Structure 1
Amino acid sequence: MSKNGSSSGSFSVLGADVTITGNISASTELHIDGTVEGDIECASLVQGEGSQITGEIQAESARLAGRVDGSIHARELVILRSATINGDVHYEALTVEQGAAVQGRFAPRDAESHSTNSSASSQASTEGNGASETQAPSSSTTADLGISPFAPDTSADNDRENAPSSNYY
């Protein structure tokens, strides 16, 4: 019964004048306007504009408007325009407002559940852009998609499809 009661509207608030040094764990929504130096694990996180979090965030949903120095793991993540993120972002659903500053890598959480071979493939295709022809995972990925961004377009089918439209640009 306490689980049902905790998920039906209860929340905790850390005011702008509060500084916490240490990890925080909450089973409900957590609203932070102050400063946290430590990891946060909660069901839902709402961060105010003036807030600063230094540590890892793990939440089902997070709405960030302040500064975060650390990695973020959230199923549903919203990064507002006032946010500054310094760390990797792991998500299932992501919204980033124009003007937000993110210094780190974005990685969908479902990609983390795949084997290391598939994650190595995705890393090779994103990191090996300049040498896609020499790396087998990257070449097979672009071949599977029918896209070769670094090779000249020599396909007769592509020439026929692209020729009429290129005359209209």
Structure 2
Amino acid sequence: MSKSSSSSGSFSVLGADVTITGNIAASTELHIDGTVEGDIDCASLVQGEASQIAGEVKAESARLAGRVDGSIHARELVILRSATINGDVHYEALTVEQGASVQGRFAPREAGSASASSSQSSAQSESSSESTSSASGSTTADLGISPFSSDDSSDEQGNSASANYY
């Protein structure tokens, strides 16, 4: 487990040759170029393109460029074109670059509170939006992400755009 100091302007870097097995907590910015097998809780996360994270990510702000296998909770989230996300995404402000791959549910959350189930929408994407920024009231349609049906998919509605939107 790694814990950084809380002095302003400090940050921690995990290089490309570093593999961490265990949870990481940092009170300031964390830059990851290596591999983390565990949960990450930090103020700000910057993930390099070759980086891999297998675990839950919690951060005030996150800029993801590598692979994440786990849920993401961030107030401000940027998913770059090189990113591959396999897990649910909870955010207040979101930017997704064209070419990013996200497989999971997008759930905008109210400022300062956990996301409500009525505001969840399902998404499986090879995102086709141009660098799109959205506020908490947006839907997956605003991001150019095609919805998929729930587990009881009898596919009655086909690709109907009216399914599961709030």
The TM-score with structure 2 as length reference comes to 0.66
Structure (1/2) with the larger strand percentage: 2
Q: Provide the residue aligned with 1:151 in structure 2.
A: none
Structure (1/2) with the larger helix percentage: 1
Instruction: Calculate percent identity across the aligned residue pairs.
Output: 81
Matched, 1:55 2:55: yes
CA distance in 2, matches of 1:6, 1:102: 32
CA drift at 1:33 = 0.2
RMSD between superposed Cα atoms in Å: 2.8
- Which letter maps to 2:54? T
CA distance in 1, matches of 2:73, 2:115: 16
Q: Provide the residue aligned with 1:71 in structure 2.
A: 71
Q: Structure 2 unaligned segments of length 5 or more: list them.
A: 123-146, 151-155, 158-163
Matched, 1:31 2:31: yes
- Residue 63 of structure 2 aligns to a residue whose secondary structure is strand
Q: Provide the residue aligned with 1:105 in structure 2.
A: 105
Spell out, residue by residue over 1:102-149, the C-alpha distance to the aligned partner (whole angstroms, 9 max, x if none): 011100022974766x458x78xx86894xxxxxxx8xx7xxxxxxxx
- Residue 26 of structure 1 aligns to a residue whose secondary structure is strand
Alignment CA distance shift 1:108-1:114 (3 Å): closer
Q: Provide the residue aligned with 2:18 in structure 1.
A: 18
- Residue 27 of structure 2 aligns to a residue whose secondary structure is coil
CA distance in 1, matches of 2:25, 2:48: 18
- Structure scoring higher RCO (CA < 8 A, sep ≥ 6) equals 2
Alignment CA distance shift 1:99-1:25 (3 Å): same
How does 1:2-17 map onto structure 2 within 5 Å?
Answer: 6=6, 8-17=8-17
Work out which of the two has the higher radius of gyration on C-alpha atoms and give 1 or 2.
1
CA drift at 1:7 = 5.6
CA distance in 2, matches of 1:56, 1:6: 22
- Which letter maps to 2:102? V
Alignment CA distance shift 1:113-1:22 (3 Å): closer
Q: Provide the residue aligned with 1:147 in structure 2.
A: none
CA distance in 1, matches of 2:55, 2:114: 23
CA distance in 1, matches of 2:61, 2:49: 17
- Residue 110 of structure 2 aligns to a residue whose secondary structure is helix
- Which letter maps to 2:73? H
Spell out, residue by residue over 1:28-60, the C-alpha distance to the aligned partner (whole angstroms, 9 max, x if none): 000000000000000000000000000000000
CA distance in 1, matches of 2:33, 2:8: 22
The TM-score with structure 1 as length reference comes to 0.65
